[in-house]
Structure 1
Amino acid sequence: MSAPDVHAPVPPGEPDPALETWFDRLSAAVAEELPAAVELRHRLHADPRLSGEEQDTADAVVAALGLGEGRPVAGTGRLVRVVDGPGRCVALRAELDGLAVDEATGVPWTSTTGVMHACGHDAHLAGLVAVARAVARVGGPAPLVLLLQPREERSPSGAADVVASGVLTEERVDSVVAAHVQPQLAAGVVNATPGPVNAATDEFTVTVTGHGGHGGYPHTTLDPVLALAAIVVNLQQLVSRRVDPTVGAVLAVTQLDAGASFNVVPDTARARGGLRVMREEDRELLLQALTDVAEHTATAYGCTATVHSESNEPVLANDPEIARATVPWLARGGVTVDDGWRSFGADDFSHFCTGHRGLMLFLGVDGGPETADGRRPGLHSPRFLPGDEVVGEVAAALLAGYLAGAGLLGPVEAPAG
């Protein structure tokens, strides 16, 4: 199917009547696709695959699309073109992989394989299919491709590999849009924050080396455990004293490893953790400060320290133009729009934002029934399971992003008929 030719531009500031017509037509078509999309969600949820092993999931989604096999990308991923046409296009992305989680939801379509779609990827894929089938059936205002992305949940990043492959440049992708469920937002709210919305992430390991010995003769040792304990405490002051509190950062020590016996002082002790920032300059500052604190604190205890860090994802910064352009279409769909929520979570969608207009929309959901202590399950919980209505909500968000991206490509012609 080909995209229509463009017509004369609509004056700035006025709603494009052609896009409004497309919105009405495509919204109705998406609604017709939702029953099948919900069934697809159930099938995907019952039979998930781990990162790097998503071939069966990709095959199932491609079969549901009915648009051909698509183009392999990043190993088990696919790129599928829905609307052909010259010039630049809009891409919609959804993730293929599940997590190594034993599901505890109890629904008839529960996964029993030790792998679970505990992060909403099943709903993201199903909503994407609903939009794609609707556009394939009634047409669309701009060229459209689908990105079925592998390995979002672990390194090496599937998104980074997609970008490195050059396929988005070859396909002339202008905008990449995704939607992700988020139980920290109220159900019915869709977030479209311009600028940074998810953090950059780094992993780090601090290794302290001293001189071990008998626990009963501490004066004969240079205790790396004591030095490491001081380092961990000192690291907790870095964020509060080095980073603008209106921006924030997270430095978390989450693993400690030292010794094998209560009466033996070991030669080495290690701490591992993560660093999350919203600004690249804070990342560089804190990594250097982390090294300085570790080395100098260890020296004060007669030990030495080395720091190894590994960068994971960059800051996920939504393109302000497409974020703002999406808001009217979300509102037209009847949802409450939020444009200020941010989180120190991370998503490798951030790699798409470095060379394209990127937009990650977050959808507020109810993650499942409350526990006895009044808590609801969050992302990656074995009990996390938004209701099937989320498939339609994901589809509506992706449709809004597609229309916004189409409008940024230039003037649009109304559908025929």
Structure 2
Amino acid sequence: MGRMTGEETRTPKSATVRDPAGGDARKAGAGAPRAWTTRLLVLGIVLSALNLRPAITSFGALLEEVRDGLGMSGSVAGLLTSLPSLCFAVFGAVAPRLARRFGPGAVVCAGLAAIATGLLTRPYAGGTAGFLAASALALAGIAVGNVLMPVIVKRWFPDRVGSMTGLYSMALAFGTSLAAAVTVPVTDALGGDWQPGLAVWAALAAAAVLPWIPFVRDRGTGAAGQAPARGHTPALRITRSRTAWALAVFFGLQATAAYITMGWMAQIFRDAGVPAGTAGLLLSLTMVMGVPLAFVIPRLATRLPHQGPIVLALGLCGLAGYAGLHFAPVGGAWAWAVLLGISNCAFPLALTMVGMRARTGAGVAQLSAFAQSTGYLISIPGPLLVGVLYQHSGGWGLPIALMCALMVPQMAVGVLAGRARTVEDEAAR
């Protein structure tokens, strides 16, 4: 495997590879995009990314108010913090199939509409069951975006996987931190009721639908948008790839850490005596750390022959942040928020490795769906278990110990996933 220069990913050169799902990966469909099409697509990617986490972090910022308003126990609240992983696993698995049938533009557009509808209705759905159902609708829309964004990047920007993944990840981190930071102040400005404070995020999702409307009829997206060409194997035996499994487990463990952080970190600080508004700002700081780092880390990852050192550095930051939460949650609160924000940048690294560990658009589609669906299944028990431990132990010692314990295998499998391999080669063996 030759060494690649610039921003190219360290897989066999993908810019001119024949994609078994649709010809040249750059020229699938209608050929090279026009300038306005590219700009509109970039805008659509950025706006989509902005909407992929506010449904979660806005809920985390108002977790105590929602629990009181709906009469939730700690275990039920833990279930709600696990719901994103469950929805991402279930609906993410079907995203490539939907994209092949309807085109990824149509699926992403419909997903954003589902996000807007779910966010608007969940505060007023009536009771915990209605809140869960409306949340699931929004999270289903997020799930298809999670899976299809790496595919769209690989298809339209094969020579800029690192920078486009970084831009997408940076927008995602900004949306995450924005919701964490302003949900409490917006709620106060709207009269102190948590319901409009959560519903207001539907407007951002509705705005994100607009750039995707011109792409609703476009099915020329290579791996995700066309049927396999005749004479080619329709699908990889992805489960034969050790790298695919390592990446799936890495994705699952980093998602576990991220959703525990988004769902529970503000509550940890509030229980330690930090005011609600400050706790929201601390969560926002954790999320906003991903804005610059989500752009830098993918670009750095594409220039390294092995991404293991980045995995280890992020994991050590996470261990230090968890230790700080346990021993000095108030005194070093801002430092722990920064360290956990750095650790959460394992997410853009995982997305980048999805693009690097497959040679073709078809491979990226399968690897993205497999790694994310399997990974999110793995992550389901974590936030729920934190809620159960918190309720039954009456403190945060055991939940934080669990977080530390999960970081060790995350680092181990991340090192394995960072090796310069491709799933096509491993599946062929």
- The bucket for the TM-score relative to the shorter chain is under 0.3
TM-score by length of 2: 0.23
Bigger fraction of residues in helix: 2
Which has the larger Rg?
A: 1
Structure with the larger RCO, 1 or 2 (CA within 8 Å, 6+ apart)? 2
TM-score (norm. length: structure 1) = 0.23
